[in-house]
Amino acid sequence: MSRPRPEPVQVVKERRDAALRVLTGNVPYIRFLGIQFERRGDELTAVLPFDEKLIGNPLLPALHGGVTAAFLEVAALVELSWSVLWEDIEAGRIDPRALAPEDLPRMPKTIDFSVDYLRSGLPRDAYARARVNRSGRRYASVHVEAWQDNRTRPFAQATGHFLMPETRDAAARNG
Amino acid sequence: MSEGRDDKTAEKTPGQGTDKLAHARHFIEAIPHSRALGMRIEEMEDGQAQISMPWDPALVGDPRTGVIHGGAVSALMDTCCGAAVISHPEAPAGTATIDLRIDYMRAATPGQRITARAHVYHITRTVAFLRAEAMDETEGLPVASATGAFTVERPAAPPVPAQTKEASA
């Protein structure tokens, strides 16, 4: 029984929430769409509160297919960045409270993104969760699903491939 | 890229085709999200469409570089593909995206307008197949390319019954 005494819960929460804020709070497009992120431990849920400007078909009405694609892509990118950042934060290598956005590793770049539209997006809030299926040193593959009323009836899903940013060590080696 | 497009629709023999096109153009320009992104329809005819969108600081995905978010480019591509479908001579009454795949070849240059071009390369009774490209103001390599499949919604057989929209998904 020699494990170190666990940190107080508030300290842990504050550190993780600060990291999430740094990651998502400074991207204008995330703000433009109004996307928020909820966190349970390391699990993220992207939330897209309904807004009139997200409508693509005023007659139905339905969410714009482009909004759905963008929402899925944002959710996938944030999940991927978050999963990379998580270990550094938990190991104390990064202190998010002292972190400015420009100190963060760069965001991964989307190589391709393929969206399946399963049913039309209703004029109400939408949620998305992404799963990193593979995250290598250079490439990552991420799957993401979005739903509205029923978690088991997604209205869209997507798979994307991403180019990982250079790690600090690699960047230092390459000058 | 497209000269003399302004007169094309006007020169056509007046009738259903022109009305329908004007109607479709209005319809697209009235889409709340297209308006929010400042989209402008430049061409929409015979299963081809060209729509552009200005660079806007609100659409930036990477504040360090000012590069526009891929999601905004997706929205432009999706709208452009939809516009190409409803401008097809077979005159679908409506359309919805079944799938859309986008390849991002390079970052769009900050400050430059992005223009998407889409065309229907095959259409069946129920499905339209599309290819699209997005360019910024720099010549050469496109910013992104896309392929998509869209539904083809046929006008209901006359006499037109009320709403049959729910059947489509």
Contact indicator for B67, B106 with CB cutoff of 8 Å: no
Contact indicator for B151, B130 with CB cutoff of 8 Å: no
How far is it, in rounded angstroms, from Cα B67 to Cα B36?
18
Mean pLDDT to the nearest integer, A90-116: 82
Residues of chain B in contact with residue A118, where contact means CB-CB under 8 angstroms, are 169
Mean pLDDT to the nearest integer, B122-151: 96
Is the ipTM reported for this complex over the cut 0.85?
Answer: yes
Query: What pLDDT is attached to residue A134?
Result: 96
* Closest-CA distance of chain B to residue A62, Å: 10
Mean pLDDT of chain B: 84
Residue contact B104–A113, C-beta within 8 A: yes
Mean pLDDT of chain A: 90
Q: Of B102, B105, B106, B153, which to mutate for an interface test with A (greatest number of A Cβ within 10 Å)? A: B102
Q: What's the pLDDT band for B67 if we cut at 50, 70, 90? A: very high
pLDDT over threshold 80, residue A100: no
In a domain, B136, yes or no: yes
Query: What pLDDT is attached to residue B29?
Result: 77
Q: What's the pLDDT band for B112 if we cut at 50, 70, 90? A: very high
Contact indicator for B144, B104 with CB cutoff of 8 Å: yes
In a domain, B167, yes or no: no
Residue contact B60–A74, C-beta within 8 A: no
User: How many domains would you assign to chain B?
Assistant: 1
Going by the DSSP 8-state scheme, the letter that residue A168 receives in this structure is H
Residue contact B60–A111, C-beta within 8 A: no
Q: What's the pLDDT band for B169 if we cut at 50, 70, 90? A: very low
pLDDT tens digits, residue range A34-59?
999 999 999 999 999 999 999 998 88
pLDDT tens digits, residue range A81-96?
999 988 888 888 877 7
In a domain, B161, yes or no: no
Q: A156-170, B84-98, B121-135, B150-164: which has the minimum mean pLDDT?
A: B150-164
Query: Is A66's Cβ below 8 Å from some Cβ in B?
Result: yes
Q: What's the pLDDT band for B4 if we cut at 50, 70, 90? A: very low
Query: Is A60's Cβ below 8 Å from some Cβ in B?
Result: yes
Partner residue facing A65 (CB), from B32, B61, B97: B97
Place of tokens 């097809």: B88
Query: What pLDDT is attached to residue B3?
Result: 35
Q: What's the pLDDT band for B8 if we cut at 50, 70, 90? A: very low
In a domain, B160, yes or no: no
- The separation between CA A120 and the C-alpha centre of its own chain, rounded to angstroms, equals 23
Residue contact A55–B169, C-beta within 8 A: no
Partner residue facing A27 (CB), from B32, B63, B100: B63
pLDDT tens digits, residue range B40-58?
999 999 999 999 999 999 9
**Token code pair at residue A113:** 């993104």
- pLDDT above 90 coverage of chain B, percent: 66
pTM above 0.80, yes or no: yes
Q: Which helix (H) or strand (E) holds A133?
A: strand A126-135
* Closest-CA distance of chain B to residue A98, Å: 18
In a domain, B114, yes or no: yes
Q: Which domains does chain A have, with CATH numbers?
A: 9-173 (3.10.129.10)
pLDDT over threshold 50, residue A155: yes
In a domain, B57, yes or no: yes
- pLDDT above 70 coverage of chain B, percent: 79
Q: What's the pLDDT band for B161 if we cut at 50, 70, 90? A: low
Residues of chain B in contact with residue A59, where contact means CB-CB under 8 angstroms, are 165
CATH number of domain containing B71: 3.10.129.10
Partner residue facing A65 (CB), from B59, B61, B78: B78
Say which residue, A6 or A98, is predicted with more confidence: A6
Query: What pLDDT is attached to residue A135?
Result: 94
pLDDT over threshold 50, residue A5: yes
Range(s) of the domain holding residue B85 = 12-154
Q: What's the pLDDT band for A112 if we cut at 50, 70, 90? A: very high
* Closest-CA distance of chain A to residue B21, Å: 17
Q: Of A26, A57, A107, A111, which to mutate for an interface test with B (greatest number of B Cβ within 10 Å)? A: A57
How far is it, in rounded angstroms, from Cα B137 to Cα B125?
37
Q: What's the pLDDT band for B148 if we cut at 50, 70, 90? A: very high
Say which residue, B88 or B159, is predicted with more confidence: B88
How far is it, in rounded angstroms, from Cα A42 to Cα A16?
9
Mean pLDDT to the nearest integer, A118-141: 96
In a domain, B169, yes or no: no
In a domain, B137, yes or no: yes
Which chain A residue has its CA at the smallest distance from B31's CA? A56
Query: What pLDDT is attached to residue B162?
Result: 56
